[in-house]
Structure 1
Amino acid sequence: MTRELRDCLGHFATGVTVVTSEIDGQKHGATVNSFTAVSLDPPLVLVSLDRTSKAGRHLGDRPFVVNVLKEGQSDLAMHFAGRPTARPIRWDGTKLAEALAHIVCEPWRSYDGGDHVLFLGRVKEIGTSQGDPLLFYRGAFTKRGA
């Protein structure tokens, strides 16, 4: 049923984010489409990360940034999914400089999510830029209205 469930869930279009943080003085990121708003008061968001990933093992005790990617940034999504790109990554601290939006968080809580860990972050800073979101649908990147 695992494959069938994955295929079924793929029918829900999602935005694409890269969750970034600093670990031992090095910037790291992980491509994540399991992201959602949780609460406005207090301001909370949730990301779900594979517990075996580096980000999944280290995110719970450090600040992190949810970077919402825009159209044309699928190579950036693939880079942080483990397929490095030759394009240089532009950083602004631990934020991705060219993201459509960013949400800077401090750790709030984490919960067991089976093979994933659910991380709630308290929002400390937000920012947006111009553009359309990068979307993921049925296992592929797509454009709004496509």
Structure 2
Amino acid sequence: MTAENRHDARLQPLTPQAFRDVIGHFASGVTVITTTLDGVRHGTTASAVSSLSLEPPMLLVCMNRSSATGQALLRSGAFAVNILGEGDDELARRFAGKGDDKFAGVAVDTGEHGQPLLLDALAQLVCRVTQQVEVGTHIVFFAEVHEATARPGEPLAYYRGKFGRLAFDR
């Protein structure tokens, strides 16, 4: 393919599937976002999480508007980011699904505002929403981090629809 042909290909309309395929080349960490609303625990697997500010400590989380966890987070105003570690593939799949009690058999503690903290997670951040913005199919939550903890270990990675591990040059 010539440089001219590559340029022409980029000028074609971008379909949702083509965008998904291209953005799938971006490797990310894997988290489970959790919240509690009216005594009911909610959680979903998410990779659209990013640090935003050190002072004050803030992050952002993107949740699909149709997500039950996203809707609960919208109403509760508080959530936890549970960063999964290498080997937590099953936990990631469990919270990515719909239906049954995703928390059944999972070791859980409670954060300062009732957020479920997954005890086997590599790290946890307890957050309060300061602002939310609806964009396209998602809600972007901006949140201040009030508590955080981490344990030694390696993160679970997500790339091209699969879970894996990072390989570092030593």
Q: TM-score, normalised by structure 1?
A: 0.94
What is the match of residue 79 of structure 1? 94
Bigger drift between 104-113 and 82-91 goes to: 82-91
Q: 2:30 matched to 1:12?
A: no
Identity among equivalent positions (%) equals 38
What is the match of residue 145 of structure 1? 167
Q: Which amino acid aligns with 1:43?
A: P
CA displacement 1:18-64 (0-9 Å, x = unmatched): 00011211221110000000111121100100001111212124210
What is the match of residue 126 of structure 2? 104
- Distance in 1 (alpha carbons) for counterparts of 2:43 and 2:127: 14
- Distance in 2 (alpha carbons) for counterparts of 1:128 and 1:90: 16
- Contact preservation (8 Å) 2:35, 2:72: no
What is the match of residue 135 of structure 2? 113
Q: Which amino acid aligns with 1:72?
A: G
State the aligned residue count: 146
What is the match of residue 151 of structure 2? 129
2:96 is paired with a residue of what secondary structure? Answer: coil
What is the match of residue 36 of structure 1? 50
- Distance in 1 (alpha carbons) for counterparts of 2:164 and 2:21: 16
Bigger drift between 58-67 and 86-95 goes to: 86-95
**Structure with larger Rg:** 2
Q: Provide the aligned C-alpha RMSD in A.
A: 1.8
Q: Deviation of residue 86 (structure 1)?
A: 9.9
Q: 2:92 matched to 1:70?
A: no
- Distance in 1 (alpha carbons) for counterparts of 2:126 and 2:70: 17
What is the match of residue 2 of structure 1? 16
What is the match of residue 38 of structure 2? 24
Q: Deviation of residue 81 (structure 1)?
A: 0.7
Note the residue ranges of structure 1 that are not aligned, 5 or more in a row.
Answer: none
**Per residue, is there more strand in 1 or in 2?**
1
Note the residue ranges of structure 2 that are not aligned, 5 or more in a row.
Answer: 1-14, 111-115
> After TM superposition, what 4+ stretches of structure 1 lie above 4 angstroms from structure 2?
83-87
Q: Deviation of residue 14 (structure 1)?
A: 0.2
What is the match of residue 109 of structure 2? 92
- Distance in 1 (alpha carbons) for counterparts of 2:25 and 2:103: 31
Q: TM-score, normalised by structure 2?
A: 0.81
